[in-house]
Chains A and B, each alone.
Chain A
Amino acid sequence: MAVAPMHDGFLVHKRFRYGWLALLLVGFVAAAFFYRDRLEGINVDLVFGYGLGGLALAIMLLLTWFGVRKRSYAKGAGPLKGWLSAHVYLGIALIFLVPMHGGFVIEPDIHGLAYVLVLITAFTGVLGIAFYGLYPRRVAANRDGLTFDDMVKRMAEVDIEIRGLSPKLSEAANDVVRGEVANLRIGGGVRMLFVKPRNRSRHAQMALHRLAIDNDAARRAEALLERKADVVDRLQRDIQMRSRLRVWLLLHVPLSLAALAVVISHGVGMLVFGLGSV
């Protein structure tokens, strides 16, 4: 008897249930779009304008509700993983539904703004799939069971021990060690999202190595610095990856709310200016 795997990703949740649903939806609408001239007995403008527009708005509201739903893990209908799966696949579906709703026309007006915002939000969502497929696992592997505080404490321990070694070190070695403690910077702003920051502990360790002092204290200090540099590397990787995830969220969520606002104004405008005038 086949045993269900312990953990299915949100992409394969329930054997791609929401993927198939989205594919079916897009396929159906695309077929109707490409054969719209041959559809008889229905008002194509009405269906693709108000009908598809309403459907897309409903999908957008569902996608936005995920932000609420994810804050209460166990409450609400269905497992959270199902919600995420639906969020991802319906969001991708919007990339295809919205252009068909707009007839592939973008003009520099509020309708075009709604169009562009929805598409940008959806595309950042696709980027988010890659981010969330990659980073949480990497963050966990990088931490290796340690918490953020653990890593800081581990470095602090090295610092304390190196401080104890200080009386046994030569002046040159002592300068390197003290400089490392004084100058160490971990993390940072926007720059570290893209560039790996410098690891001053590694620099200090290599500087100490170049001094080539042959005594126990220096060797010990070098070994301690190497241990600390490893932790600094980890810590910086940790901050970089988590910051990237955070920045993604800071883009995706405001973009989606802005898109929703413009889409609602667009929809209200379309109703106010001519319900049924197409």
Chain B
Amino acid sequence: MRLLVRHRLRRTRREGYVERSEILEAEEISVGRGSDAVLHLSDGRVLLHHATIALQNGVLCVTAEPNADIELNGVPTKVAELSTGHTVTVGPYDLVCGDAHPECDAAVEIELARPMGDAETTLRDRVRTPLLKRRLSGWKIGGAIALVLLMVGLSVPLSSFLVTRDTPKPAPALVNATVSNDSDIFRMAETMWVTERLSDVHGKLEAGCQACHTTAFAAVADNTCVDCHNTLTAHVDPHASFSANVDQSGGCATCHQEHTGPKGIHPGVQVTETGCIACHNGNIDPGDGSALARVASIADHPPMTLPTPSPNGLVFSHASHLAPQGKRRPDGKRQVLGCVDCHQSANAARDMTMPSFKNGCASCHTMAFAAEDPSQRLPHGPVSQLRSFLLGFYEAVERGEIVAPELAVPTRRRRPGQSAEPVAATPPAPLPARTRTEQALSGPAVKGQCATCHALEESVTPAEWDIANVDFVHDWLSSARFDHKDHLKDAKCGTCHAVGKSEKATDVAMPSMGTCLECHGSADDFPDVASTCVTCHAYHGSTQQGAGLERHPAFAQDKPDQPNFTQLADLLREGKL
């Protein structure tokens, strides 16, 4: 069929219409919103396939699709037969059947009779989609945030080098290093940049990051360390023939890594033994004739070379003093003695003191000597001093200034069969003071008392005896650091010092290396007390550390050709190393 369609686009002012015409030609003309519809009606209220127009027995018929509704002259229907003037409603459109055109089978006029009016506008106002607004852009929001973060983030590292801060660098001595003021805004910002934690000392330097990071885009130079740490001495003499074997390539940072925690800068377990063993392999001659000891590992540690104790001039038995039943005190009571009654820690618990007579021995060994005055004490001194003291004492007795207390009347012991009768008291004739002095000096009251503790030797003095020279070993571990306090957390004195059976003063109570190795060893064997060379031995001779190689005979500080770190720094700067 051929169908003439007049689309009424809009009304004119003169009761007419602006129209667009088309002739559709098909067996059945489909009506719908879909693009495949022959008669296309674009309004959304029309279904994709809404109806079909066809000629049935010469009559124009509009048939609705099963899911669609149409109306014929306002009456809902499914099939509408049209004659001229009839109106079919398809969605918002009115199809009016017009007069047949000579060239066509039928004609319709189509008008959008019910354009979407206020209903749609009202509805659109009710739909709120604030999160879907176009102006909300993740890139704009993110870009703004990123810009701020970037400016804040970059300001610290850049300002650290671009802004000159008026705070001075720490004075070139560790003890004078100035401590920071935490309210400094630079410092507060810089703390945000500290990777992990600084060591507790370096974290407080007033100059902040600049104290060590002096140049941008460059690693911290060794000179920077040496500027402050100038009291350290070198491990080996850089001019010695074998110094080339000491690996200096990594400089300070080879062992000292900063930003690894409060204690991190002090190399501990993180320093491997290989660095030390590389030289201490027994093959290197330091030049003074003594080969470096060969050490393969801590388990293979050579025996400790303890100082040889000379005869120390004392008569002393640890066993007797530590007797479990105790020692009798002057007041007659017994006291069980312990190590700390005589020995106290010294040098930051590295050593234990030898007791002095006054502070140790004298509490029991009173040195009373005379019946005339038991409160009188012999002085603790050389024989010559004793003689003059005794002479003075007996002269005072002679003058009657010192009077012996009343003694009980001596009685003769009663023998069986005899009566106990008092013996007629016959006071001995007083001897001259000089004679009494010599008698006392060679008698048990003086010589005997001295000999209790001291070795006596023959002498050309009038007394013909003298006290042997007393000489202790004060430093048993000259090449190692040690802390009694640390060790006493898990051990007692007797764990290492076997003095319970020591009868002689010359007995060495130092433990052997084997005793150390019962607890110390490699990280694999002793994870709790993992020990490397630097656990006990210092690499640098340092006056700060109190113990270490500065006292090692091979690297003594008083070696004139041993430069300290300040000199080393100069050599480094001059490129001579």
Residue numbers of A with Cβ under 8 A of B are: 67, 105, 107, 109-111, 149-150, 152-157, 159-160, 163, 181, 184-190, 193, 235, 239, 242-243, 246-247, 249-258, 260-262, 264-266, 268-277
Chain A to chain B: the 4 pairs with minimum beta-carbon distance, closest first: A265-B153, A253-B138, A254-B142, A257-B142
Most A C-beta atoms less than 10 A away, residue of B139, B150, B153, B154? B153
Question: Known interface pairs A109-B191, A275-B218. Does A154 touch B44 (Cβ–Cβ under 8 Å)?
Answer: yes
Residues of chain B within 8 A of A260, CB atoms compared: 146
B123 lies within 8 A of chain A by Cβ: yes
Q: Is B45 an interface residue (CB 8 A)?
A: yes
Minimum C-beta distance from A252 to chain B (A): 7
Chain B residues with Cβ below 8 Å from A265 are 149-150, 152-154, 157
Q: Given A160-B119, A186-B128, A246-B131, do A261 and B153 touch, yes or no (CB 8 Å)? A: yes
Chain B residues with Cβ below 8 Å from A272 are: 157-158, 160-161, 216-217
Within the complex, the shortest CB–CB distance from A229 to chain B, in Å, comes to 14
User: How far in angstroms is the closest Cβ of chain A from B380?
Assistant: 61
Contacts of A188 in B (CB 8 A): 128, 130
Q: Is B149's CB under 8 angstroms from A273's CB?
A: no
Q: Are B194 and A109 in contact (CB under 8 A)?
A: yes
The contact of B149 among A154, A239, A258, A276, by CB within 8 Å, is A258
Contact: B145 with A257, CB < 8 Å?
A: yes
Q: Are B128 and A252 in contact (CB under 8 A)?
A: no
A156 touches B116 (CB 8 A): yes
Residues of B within 8 A of A (CB): 44-45, 91-92, 114, 116-117, 119-120, 122-124, 126-132, 136, 138-139, 141-143, 145-147, 149-150, 152-154, 156-158, 160-161, 191-197, 209, 213, 216-220, 253
**In the complex, are the beta carbons of A239 and B132 less than 8 A apart?**
yes
Q: What's the nearest-Cβ distance from chain B to residue A71, in Å?
A: 10
Name the contact of A152 in the complex, choosing from B124, B209, B213 (C-beta under 8 A).
B124
- Asked if residues A261 and B131 are in contact (CB atoms below 8 Å), the reply is no
Closest to B141 in A: A254
Residue in contact with B213 in the complex, picked from A150, A190, A273, CB distance below 8 Å: A273
B136 and A261 within 8 A (CB): no
Complex Cα gap A258–B152 (Å): 12
Decide yes or no: A160 and B253 within 8 Å by CB, A257-B142, A261-B147, A273-B157 being known contacts. Answer: no
Q: How far is the CA of A187 from the CA of B141 in the complex (A)?
A: 24
Residues of B within 8 A of A110 (CB): 153, 156, 192-193
In addition to A187-B130, A239-B129, A258-B146, 14 A-B residue pairs with Cβ atoms within 8 Å of each other are A153-B120, A157-B91, A157-B119, A246-B132, A250-B141, A251-B138, A254-B141, A261-B145, A261-B150, A262-B153, A264-B153, A268-B154, A269-B156, A272-B217
User: Are A153 and B45 within 8 A (Cβ)?
Assistant: yes
For residue B221, which residue of chain A has the nearest CB?
A: A277
> Which single residue of chain B is at the shortest CB-CB distance from A244?
B131
- Which residue of chain A is the closest to B140 with respect to CB atoms? A254
Give the most central of B119, B147, B218: most A CB within 10 Å: B119
Q: CB-nearest residue of chain A relative to B120?
A: A156
Given A256-B142, A265-B153, CB of A111 within 8 Å of CB of B195 = yes
B161 contacts which chain A residues (CB < 8 A)?
Answer: 272
For A266, the chain B residues whose CB sits under 8 A away are 153
Contact A109 B131 (CB under 8 A): no
Inter-chain contacts of A262 with B (CB < 8 A): 149, 153
With both beta carbons as reference points, the residue of chain A lying nearest to B130 in the complex is identified as A189
A141 to B44, CA, bound (A): 19
Jot down 13 A-B pairs with beta carbons below 8 A, ordered by A.
A67-B139, A152-B127, A153-B45, A190-B131, A249-B138, A254-B142, A257-B143, A265-B149, A272-B158, A272-B217, A273-B160, A273-B193, A277-B220
Residue pair B213, A269 in contact (C-beta under 8 Å):
no
Which residue of chain B has the shortest Cβ distance to A103 in the bound complex?
B196
Q: Whole-angstrom distance from the CB of B162 to the nearest CB of chain A?
A: 10
Q: Is the pair B123, A159 in contact by a Cβ cutoff of 8 Å? A: yes
Residue of A nearest to B44 (CB): A153
Residue in B119, B143, B153, B194 whose CB lies within 8 Å of A156: B119
A276 to B219, CA, bound (A): 6
Cβ contacts under 8 Å, B253 to chain A = 277
Which of B117, B160, B217 is close to A271, meaning CB atoms less than 8 Å apart?
A: B217
Collect the chain B residues with CB atoms within 8 Å of residue A155's CB.
Answer: 123
The reply to whether A268 and B157 form a contact with Cβ atoms under 8 Å apart is yes
Minimum C-beta distance from A147 to chain B (A): 9
**Chain B residue with Cβ nearest A145:** B48
- B209 cross-chain contacts in A, Cβ below 8 A: 273
Which residue of chain B has the shortest Cβ distance to A257 in the bound complex?
B142
C-alpha gap A184/B532 in the complex (Å): 80
Query: In the complex, which of the residues A187, A193, A235, A258 contacts B142, with contact meaning CB atoms closer than 8 Å?
Result: A258
Q: Chain A residues near B156: list those with CB within 8 A.
A: 110, 269
* Shortest distance from the beta carbon of A90 to any chain B beta carbon, whole Å: 19
The smallest beta-carbon distance between B281 and chain A, in angstroms, is 20
Residue ID in chain B nearest A155 by CB atoms: B123
| A243 neighbours in B (Cβ, 8 Å) | 129, 131-132
Which residues does chain B contribute within 8 Å of A187, judged by CB atoms?
127-130
A22 and B312 alpha carbons, distance in the complex (Å): 76
- A105-B127 CB under 8 A given contacts A272-B158, A274-B220: no
Bound together, the chains give a CA A172 to CA B120 distance in angstroms of: 25
B129 touches A160 (CB 8 A): no
Interface centre among A107, A109, A247, A261 (most CB of B within 10 A): A261
Check if A269 sits within 8 Å of B145, measured CB to CB.
no
Asked if B132 and A235 make an inter-chain contact with CB atoms under 8 angstroms apart, the answer reads: no
B157 to chain A, nearest CB (A): 4
User: For residue B148, which residue of chain A has the nearest CB?
Assistant: A261
**Alpha-carbon distance between A268 and B152 when the two chains are bound, in angstroms:** 12
**With A254-B141, A261-B146, A277-B219 known to touch, is A247 a contact of B131 (CB < 8 Å)?**
yes
- B91 proximity list for chain A (CB < 8 A): 157
B192 cross-chain contacts in A, Cβ below 8 A? 109-110
Residues from chain B with Cβ under 8 Å of A253 in the complex: 138-139, 141-142
Residue of A nearest to B150 (CB): A261
Known: A269-B193, A272-B216, A277-B253. A257 touches B154 (CB 8 A): no
Known A239-B132, A269-B157, A275-B219: A254·B145 in contact at CB below 8 Å = yes
Return A62 CB to nearest CB of chain B, in Å: 17
Contact of B44 among A150, A247, A251, A273 (CB under 8 A): A150
- Considering only CB atoms, which chain B residue lies closest to A249 in the complex? B138
Question: A24: shortest Cβ distance to chain B, in Å?
Answer: 29
- B154: which A residues are within 8 A, CB to CB? 264-265, 268-269
Q: Is the CB of A153 within 8 A of B116?
A: yes
**What is the chain B residue whose CB lies nearest that of A163?**
B119
Give CA–CA (A258, B184) in the complex, Å: 27
Given the interface contacts A153-B44, A274-B220, A276-B219, does A250 sit within 8 Å of B132 by beta carbon? no
